[in-house]
């Protein structure tokens, strides 16, 4: 397998705070509990204090969930290890259609690999995937983009019940033709097994949450990935003391969050979540609608409902399933429920945690190590051939359409004409250098004028070369098609491949060993890397 590693700093569109966290932790250590290092994960795991009673209760709830999903023996084994004292390496993502963008699977692979490495080092650890079923942004999960034969294929389910948690929304009959078409594409790419996994998981009665979970349970059966659905009423019941603590400490926590926002701004970073004087950490689920709870003058409000603090605290005890955490509180709830030693996150998430750290410190008293997920860009055989043909790298594609087109046009000049350009350019450079020396002796003040003239000549030569390449393209009609192929695969919709494209078609072509090959690269020894991989 041909593989090349890049630092995240070499990728487009990376958050400034995330890059500082990886490369210059000392500059941002005021916003995080730990640096992103495996030795710190090991140290954190050894010190982790987690109540046995809560461990037993959560393990039993997850066992019931796993049975409903049809999870295999490896998952059951990991659940037994969790109950006996293993730490958790946790990650999570929205429950996207047909597994969502590729990075959802990359997150799971990283968690699996880190857990395995910790276990081999003498610290029992299991991978856990927190499904964001309580999220109410349906647009985040109802579409999927696949790369197929050089073009982007978009699957899109309709908007229904948009205000409900996405994990509860049924897929409906509309999913059947999409699932059938997607399965046919997977079979055509060489994997009847993946096609079977998809059609078995994505059926009309299923919800976005249950379908995603069943697909992941099949994909990661051998790795024993534990899937966690936070919509489970039992998990809400276990989390009730934390909800009550958040309400009791609302004023102090909010003051600290407001100050953290100011501190981030002063350090030159943007706060990911807006916090106001009325903010709380909870949503209220009333009549199936998820509403933000606000606070003002000692009262709490959600929609047309109003409570005194004591009334709301009592309600969290009586009906815990009607409450869910906001984006900053969600990971704290997760790590209250789990003995988390490390959380595997994407760049934007790690930026969020600079605010969540305040809540961890005030309400939980501990925080896991934040590790960046492994990143991958997969290059198929045709794309690799095109990159070689035009003398390009993946980074050239990321640089944007205009720059890419210029390079492709310049490389498309016929060989004879290209040699003539190169020879002529060398002669002109030599002539201008000699001429410049003579003019400088005559009048040193003209040195800058000569240099500017040289730059203008080189610019026009390069422009002429590109126009010749463009004329060649008009004859052959290939560059536009090749450019579209490269951008659709490597920079779809001006975003990294892992953020836009589903991984399943790539796995279908790669074969059974694809996931294992990616998992090896998701090692704790290679934290902070993005890999360019040429598919076999």
Answer yes or no: do 342 and 228 share one domain: yes
What's the chain's Rg over C-alpha atoms?
Answer: 27
Residues 135, 156 contacting (CB under 8 angstroms): no
Q: Does residue 445 sit in the same domain as residue 469?
A: yes
* Cross-strand bridge partners of residue 110: none
Reported for 36-41, long-range contacts at CB under 8 A and 24+ positions apart, including other chains, are: 36/369, 36/370, 36/371, 36/372, 36/527, 36/528, 37/369, 37/527, 38/114, 38/117, 38/524, 38/525, 38/527, 40/369, 41/114, 41/118, 41/341, 41/342, 41/369, 41/371, 41/524
pLDDT given at position 217? 97
Residues 215 and 255 in one domain: no
- pLDDT of the residue at 455: 76
Q: Are residues 212 and 360 in the same domain?
A: yes
Candidates 509, 497, 536, 489; CA nearest to 147 is 489
Same domain, 408 and 280: no
Does 307 lie in the same domain as 259?
Answer: yes
Read off the pLDDT of residues 470-513 as tens digits, 9 standing for 90 and up: 666 565 578 889 999 999 999 999 999 999 999 999 999 998 78
Q: Give domain status of residue 189, yes or no.
A: no
- The count of domains in the chain is 3
Say how far apart CA 133 and CA 338 lie, in whole Å.
17
Structural domain range at position 441: 393-494
User: Is residue 519 located within the same domain as residue 417?
Assistant: no
How many whole angstroms separate alpha carbon 201 and alpha carbon 111?
23
Locate tokens 């050894």: which residue?
Answer: 46
Residues 244 and 214 in one domain: no
Q: What is the pLDDT along the chain (536 residues), one digit of tens a residue?
A: 689 999 999 999 999 999 999 999 999 999 999 999 999 999 999 999 999 999 999 999 999 999 999 999 999 999 999 999 999 999 999 999 999 999 999 999 999 999 999 999 999 999 999 999 999 899 999 999 999 989 999 999 999 866 789 999 999 999 999 999 999 999 999 999 999 999 999 999 999 999 999 999 999 999 999 999 999 999 999 999 999 999 999 999 999 999 999 999 999 999 999 999 999 999 998 877 889 999 999 899 998 999 999 999 999 999 999 999 999 999 999 999 999 999 999 999 999 999 999 999 999 999 999 999 999 999 999 999 999 999 999 999 999 999 999 899 888 876 555 555 566 666 777 777 777 677 777 777 777 777 777 777 777 676 776 676 566 656 557 888 999 999 999 999 999 999 999 999 999 999 878 999 999 999 999 999 999 999 98
For CA atoms 77, 81, 83, 89, the dihedral sign is: negative
Give this prediction's pTM.
0.89
Residue 88 forms part of a structural domain: yes
Query: Is 194 inside a domain boundary?
Result: no
Shared domain check, 345 and 421: no
| Position 385 in a domain | no
Q: Are residues 97 and 163 in the same domain?
A: yes
> How far is C-alpha 522 from the geometric centre of its chain's CA atoms?
14
In this structure, what token pair is assigned to residue 133?
């079923």
372 located within any domain: yes
**In-domain check, residue 502:** no
The tokens describing 190, both together, are 């060489």
**Residue 479 included in any domain:** yes
Token pair belonging to 502:
């589903």
Contact residues for 343 (Cβ-Cβ < 8 A; gap 6+): 89, 90, 91, 331, 334, 335, 368, 369, 370, 371
Question: Domain with 217 in it: what CATH number?
Answer: 3.40.50
Whether residues 211 and 281 share a domain: the answer is no
Sole residue written with tokens 């997607």: 182
Residues 280 and 411 occupy one common structural domain? no
Establish if 243 belongs to a structural domain.
Answer: yes
């Amino acid at each position: 397998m041909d593989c090349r590693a890049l630092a995240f700093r070499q990728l487009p569109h990376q958050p400034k705070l995330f890059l500082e966290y990886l490369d210059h932790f000392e500059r941002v250590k005021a916003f995080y509990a730990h640096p992103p290092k495996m030795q710190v994960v090991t140290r954190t795991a050894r010190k982790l204090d987690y109540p046995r009673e809560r461990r037993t209760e959560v393990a039993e709830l997850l066992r019931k969930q796993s049975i409903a999903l049809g999870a295999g023996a490896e998952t059951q084994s990991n659940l037994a290890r969790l109950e006996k004292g293993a730490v958790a390496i946790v990650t999570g993502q929205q429950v996207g259609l047909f597994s969502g963008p590729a990075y959802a699977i990359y997150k799971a692979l990283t968690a699996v690999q880190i857990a395995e490495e910790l276990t081999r080092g003498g610290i029992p650890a299991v991978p856990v995937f927190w499904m964001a079923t309580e999220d109410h942004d349906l647009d985040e999960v109802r579409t999927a983009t696949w790369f197929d034969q050089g073009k982007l294929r978009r699957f899109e389910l309709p908007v229904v019940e948009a205000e409900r948690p996405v994990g509860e929304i049924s897929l409906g009959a509309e999913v059947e033709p999409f699932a059938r078409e997607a399965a046919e594409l997977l079979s055509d790419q060489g994997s009847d097994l993946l096609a079977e996994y998809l059609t078995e998981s994505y059926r009309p009665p299923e919800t976005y949450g249950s379908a995603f979970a069943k697909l992941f349970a099949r994909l990661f059966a051998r790795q024993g990935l534990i899937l966690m659905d936070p919509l489970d009423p039992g998990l809400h019941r276990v989390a009730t003391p934390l909800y009550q603590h958040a309400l009791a400490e609302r004023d102090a926590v909010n003051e600290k969050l407001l100050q953290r926002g100011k501190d981030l701004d002063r350090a030159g970073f943007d706060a990911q979540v807006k916090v106001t004087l009325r903010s709380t950490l909870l949503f209220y689920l009333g009549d199936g609608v998820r509403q933000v709870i606000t606070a003002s003058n000692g009262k709490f409000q959600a929609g047309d409902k109003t409570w005194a603090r004591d009334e709301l605290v009592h309600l969290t005890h009586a009906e815990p399933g009607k409450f869910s955490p906001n984006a900053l509180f969600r990971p704290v709830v997760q790590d209250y429920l789990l003995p988390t030693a490390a959380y595997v996150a994407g760049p934007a998430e790690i930026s969020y945690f600079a605010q969540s750290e305040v809540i961890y410190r005030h309400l939980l008293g501990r925080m896991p190590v934040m590790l960046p997920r492994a990143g991958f860009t997969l290059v198929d055989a045709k794309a690799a051939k095109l990159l070689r043909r035009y003398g390009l790298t993946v980074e050239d594609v990321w640089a944007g359409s205009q720059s890419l087109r210029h390079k492709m046009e310049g490389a498309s000049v016929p060989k004879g004409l290209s040699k003539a350009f190169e020879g002529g350019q060398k002669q002109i450079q030599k002539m201008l250098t000699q001429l410049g020396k003579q003019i400088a002796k005559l009048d040193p003040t003209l040195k800058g004028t000569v240099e500017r003239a040289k730059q203008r000549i080189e610019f026009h030569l390069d422009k002429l070369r590109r126009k010749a390449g463009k004329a060649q393209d008009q004859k052959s009609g290939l560059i536009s098609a090749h450019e579209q192929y490269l951008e659709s695969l490597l920079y779809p919709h001006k975003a990294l491949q892992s953020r836009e494209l589903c991984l399943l078609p790539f796995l279908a072509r790669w074969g059974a060993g694809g996931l294992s090959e990616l998992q090896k690269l998701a090692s704790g020894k290679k934290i902070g890397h993005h890999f360019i991989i040429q598919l076999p």
